[in-house]
């Protein structure tokens, strides 16, 4: 069977980019607490990603859920749609919602889970870690494919997609981990 990972990753990134731009125009105010709805993944994308099901497992669902949170505000220590997210709260929320996994609350503790993944072997759904506070593993995001990841950046910003090849993220990349569903 042909390996569909590159095609799946490209489709996920294209979908993520379109979703990110669509959610940018949604107005948020505390009075109405409007939130973007989770995107509907086209059947073609779901079929392409699900083909090598044993290898990709439930990562397409992780990516889909994370993309549905684009536009939610950052709030330190928060881990819900209503309150907002910090980086580790976003990751913990997504993995709990999709896989029923309860992850630790800090990026440093999350970075000790799963298996180490080389930058060249990243797959959608892997966790990517950065040194953003002058200490290793101080920031985490969910890899989307094509060097893109989704994360909750910092106070004053909202959950969004970033490109890991930019100078800021390249200089701060600490590593990546793959969380296996068997860790339930």
Long-range contacts of 159-166 (CB under 8 A, 24+ apart): 159/69, 159/70, 159/71, 159/72, 159/73, 159/74, 159/85, 159/90, 160/20, 160/70, 160/71, 161/16, 161/17, 161/20, 161/70, 164/128
Residue 139 annotated as catalytic: yes
Whole-angstrom distance, CA of residue 116 vs CA of residue 88:
18
Catalytic residue among 79, 87, 90, 128: 87
Catalytic residue among 65, 139, 158, 177: 139
Closest CA to 84 of 162, 137, 154, 139: 154
Catalytic residue among 151, 158, 160, 178: 151
Residue 151 annotated as catalytic: yes
Residues with active-site annotation:
87, 139, 151
């Amino acid at each position: 069977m042909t390996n569909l990972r590159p095609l799946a990753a490209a489709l996920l990134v294209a979908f993520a980019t379109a979703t990110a731009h669509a959610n940018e125009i949604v107005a948020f105010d505390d009075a109405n607490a409007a939130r973007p709805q989770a995107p509907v993944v086209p059947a073609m994308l779901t079929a392409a990603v699900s083909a090598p099901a044993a290898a990709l497992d439930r990562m397409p669902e992780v990516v889909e859920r994370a993309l549905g949170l684009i536009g939610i505000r950052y709030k330190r220590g928060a881990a819900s749609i209503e309150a907002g997210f910090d980086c580790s709260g976003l990751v913990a929320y997504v993995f709990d919602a999709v896989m029923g996994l309860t992850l630790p609350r800090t990026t440093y503790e999350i970075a000790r889970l799963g298996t180490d993944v080389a930058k060249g072997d990243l797959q959608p759904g892997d966790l990517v870690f950065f040194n953003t506070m002058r200490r290793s593993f101080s920031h985490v995001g969910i890899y989307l494919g094509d060097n893109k990841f989704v994360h909750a950046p910092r106070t004053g910003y909202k959950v969004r997609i970033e490109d890991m090849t930019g100078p800021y993220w390249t200089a701060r990349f600490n590593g990546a981990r793959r969380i296996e569903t068997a860790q339930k």
